[in-house]
Structures are given as structure tokens and as C-alpha cells.
């Protein structure tokens, strides 16, 4: 089978690797589509990911596959099921690693329900709660967005955003725009996005009540003028050093801030005196598996529309995945969808 492999920082290739072999609790899947993530995939390609990466590595974590073969102990999947977050788990080739391994023609989904029922320790199955089945009528290309939406929805709700909240979101990539979409679905009162001028119209379409270009002079004063009461929540979806400090004075008393972005992960400091008031720093992460059903419900209700995030007329074959990332670097699209097979 073919897979997208980062051979070394700066070098992304597509080449043949051995097909994964399903174990007892594994469902072998034909991977249908995967979507790109600039927050992780691009950092891995460029050698700047927050965690150590062993190169060469199979890339991709936003992939959707169809079950074609079942391990002997699988009882919660059936042939033909469409499953989210599939990937290569353990390459057969010596020296080849995986960084989730979703950009490949075949992948594995684990029956974590059966593993739990059979008494296996949580460390064997808890991560694979991310493998969830999808409705048969959901477009599998659209379904690649479920991975992003689940993480973001879990994060924003665990953080405490709710109806009537005032939310400031920094960043207009896929995550920042997703946070706008979720805040609108949660009926936040004010949803302000700071981001790229080219993305502001899309942010408004997704539910932002006000948008500001990140390069506006004295942007904090500009935002304060129109939102003098400040914000209950500030989400930094970029994660660059110094970025959150610029927004902290806009926080309302008792508000909450969180850093979701990973650009400078582990190297960020914030000045807690800047707000001039008590606030909470949210560091509770997310549980994407718990957000699966609400996200599917929002899709069915038309409140999460994948084609707002990717160009359905410009789906890239796996062999052209490098071109997809070039398009992302040029900011020609929010996310790119990759078709795994011709």
C-alpha cells in the first residue's frame, strides 16, 4: 500500500509500505479520506513539532476508513462500517515510525469496547476510544472534519463556554474557525475573532459577531472600544509566545483563558498581572471521544458544515499530498482533504 511519509524535516514523500495486519481486537480499514492539520502535520513536516518525532514517520491523524476485515475478538464493528481516526499503528519496516499514520491506503481501528469488556487494562484501549463509527449516510470526505470538531467542542465545553458567554478567539485556522462555529452553536452572546483578513468573512458566516484583522494597530484598544465589558473566555488557537499577553487585558473579572495552539508549545509564558484582576488559566484539555455524539448531531442539524472548511472541488489524491500542504502554506484553503485511493 502507499503512505505519506516524512522522511526527514522538509521532505514529504509517498511510497509503498507493508499493509497493516489486524490483531484480535483490530478492524482493518480501507482508508477513504484524510484531512490536513496545520497545527500538527505542518509542524511535523517542518521538524518543529512540540513532541519528539522519530523520522521517517507516517503522517496523518484526521482519517476516515471503511472496515474490510475483522480480528477474531472484534464484536462492535462490522464489515462496511465507516470509522473515524483510523491509521497505521505499527509499521512492519524497520526504522519506520508513525505519527498517527492516517495518510495511508489501509489502517486499523481498535474495538476498544470489547477490550474494556474483556478486562484489558485501560492503557491498552483508552486512546482508541477515538475510533468511533459514523452514520452510513455521512459523506466520508466531510467526516474527516469530525476529528477537529470533536477536539474543539470538548475543549470549549470543558472550559465552560455556554449560552450568553462572551468569547474572544485568537487565530483563524481550522481550529480558530471551529471554535467560532462551536461558540455560535452554544449560543454565546459575543463571539469575537482575531485573525487573517482573508478569513474574516468566513468567520462571520460561521457565527462570529465581530472580527478584527490580527495586524490592526493597537488591536486591544480597538476591541475594547466595541466590547468595553471584556470577555468571559479567551481561547488562543495559535499558541505563539506573547500572543495571549496582548489579549489578557481584555479579560473580564473572573474570566478564563486557555492556550489550545501549539506553535510555541512548552515555551510560552504569560504575565498574570496584565488583566489586573483574578482569572483562571484553563489546562483541562479535551476528551474527543465524549464529544463524538454531539458533533454528529450538529452535523445532522446543519450546524457544522464541512464544506465551509475545505474545497470539495479541490480534493487531492494521496500522490499529490505535498501540493496540498503547499496550498496550505499559501493560505489558499483552511483545510485540504486527501483521497487515499484513485
Note the pLDDT of residue 221. 94
Note the pLDDT of residue 240. 92
Residue in 157, 146, 99 with CA at minimum distance from that of residue 285: 157
For the purposes of burial, counting CB atoms within 10 Å of the CB of 123, is it exposed (0-12), middle (13-18) or buried (19 or more)? exposed
Tell me if residue 268 falls in helix, strand or coil. Answer: coil
DSSP 71: -
Note the pLDDT of residue 266. 85
Note the pLDDT of residue 8. 96
For the purposes of burial, counting CB atoms within 10 Å of the CB of 219, is it exposed (0-12), middle (13-18) or buried (19 or more)? middle
Tell me if residue 143 falls in helix, strand or coil. Answer: helix
Q: Where are the beta strands (DSSP E) in the chain?
A: 2-8, 11-16, 26-35, 57-58, 63-70, 82-84, 97-98, 106-110, 132-133, 166-170, 190-195, 210-213, 231-236, 251-259, 280-282, 316-317, 337-339
The answer to whether the beta carbons of residues 45 and 60 sit under 8 Å apart is: no
Note the pLDDT of residue 265. 87
Distance CA 168, CA 231 (A): 6
Distance CA 103, CA 320 (A): 12
Note the pLDDT of residue 72. 98
**Ordered per-residue pLDDT tens for the chain, 342 residues:** 999 999 999 999 999 999 999 999 999 999 999 999 988 999 999 998 888 999 999 999 999 999 999 999 999 999 999 999 999 999 888 999 999 999 999 999 999 999 999 999 999 999 999 999 999 999 999 999 999 999 999 999 999 999 999 999 999 999 999 999 999 999 999 999 999 999 999 999 999 999 999 999 989 999 999 999 999 999 999 999 999 999 999 999 999 999 999 988 888 989 999 999 999 999 999 999 999 999 999 999 999 999 999 999 999 999 999 999 999 999 999 999 999 987
Distance CA 216, CA 267 (A): 25
Note the pLDDT of residue 39. 87
The answer to whether the beta carbons of residues 104 and 2 sit under 8 Å apart is: yes
Alpha carbons within 13 angstroms on the beta-carbon side of residue 222 total 14
| Dihedral of the alpha carbons of 88, 90, 92, 94, in degrees to the nearest 10 | 120
C-alpha cell at 46: 517542518
The answer to whether the beta carbons of residues 123 and 112 sit under 8 Å apart is: no
What are the structural domains of the chain?
A: 2-133+310-339 (3.90.180.10), 148-282 (3.40.50.720)
Note the pLDDT of residue 342. 76
Note the pLDDT of residue 216. 92
Amino acid at each position: 500500500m502507499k503512505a505519506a511519509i516524512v522522511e526527514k524535516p522538509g521532505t514529504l514523500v509517498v511510497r509503498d509500505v507493508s499493509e497493516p495486519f489486524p490483531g484480535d481486537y483490530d478492524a482493518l480499514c480501507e482508508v477513504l479520506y484524510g484531512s490536513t492539520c496545520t497545527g500538527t502535520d505542518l509542524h511535523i513536516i517542518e521538524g518543529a513539532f512540540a513532541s519528539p518525532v522519530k523520522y521517517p514517520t507516517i503522517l496523518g491523524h484526521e482519517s476516515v476508513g471503511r472496515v474490510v476485515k475483522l480480528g477474531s475478538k472484534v464484536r462492535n464493528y462490522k464489515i462496511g462500517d465507516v470509522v473515524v481516526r483510523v491509521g497505521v499503528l505499527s509499521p512492519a519496516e524497520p526504522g519506520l515510525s508513525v505519527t498517527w499514520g492516517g495518510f495511508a491506503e489501509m489502517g486499523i481501528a481498535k474495538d476498544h469496547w470489547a477490550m474494556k469488556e474483556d478486562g484489558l487494562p485501560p492503557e491498552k484501549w483508552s486512546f482508541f476510544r477515538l475510533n468511533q463509527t459514523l452514520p452510513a449516510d455521512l459523506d466520508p470526505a466531510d467526516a474527516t472534519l469530525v476529528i477537529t470538531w470533536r477536539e474543539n467542542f470538548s475543549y470549549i465545553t470543558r472550559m465552560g463556554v455556554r449560552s450568553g458567554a462572551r468569547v474572544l478567539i485568537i487565530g483563524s485556522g481550522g481550529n480558530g474557525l471551529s471554535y467560532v462555529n462551536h461558540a455560535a452553536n452554544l449560543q454565546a452572546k459575543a463571539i469575537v475573532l482575531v485573525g487573517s483578513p482573508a478569513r474574516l468573512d468566513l468567520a462571520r458566516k460561521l457565527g462570529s459577531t465581530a472580527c478584527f484583522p490580527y495586524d490592526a494597530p493597537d488591536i486591544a484598544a480597538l476591541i475594547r472600544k466595541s466590547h468595553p465589558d471584556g470577555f468571559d473566555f479567551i481561547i488562543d488557537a495559535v499558541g505563539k509566545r506573547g500572543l495571549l499577553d496582548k489579549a489578557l487585558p481584555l479579560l473580564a473579572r473572573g474570566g478564563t483563558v486557555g492556550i489550545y495552539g501549539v506553535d510555541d508549545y512548552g515555551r510560552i509564558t504569560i504575565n498574570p498581572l496584565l488583566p489586573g484582576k483574578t482569572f483562571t488559566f484553563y489546562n483541562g484539555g479535551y476528551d474527543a471521544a465524549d464529544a463524538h455524539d454531539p458533533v454528529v448531531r450538529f452535523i445532522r442539524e446543519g450546524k457544522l458544515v464541512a464544506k465551509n472548511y475545505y474545497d470539495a472541488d479541490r480534493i487531492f489524491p494521496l500522490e499529490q499530498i505535498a501540493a496540498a500542504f503547499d496550498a496550505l502554506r499559501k493560505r489558499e484553503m483552511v483545510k485540504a482533504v486527501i483521497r487515499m485511493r484513485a
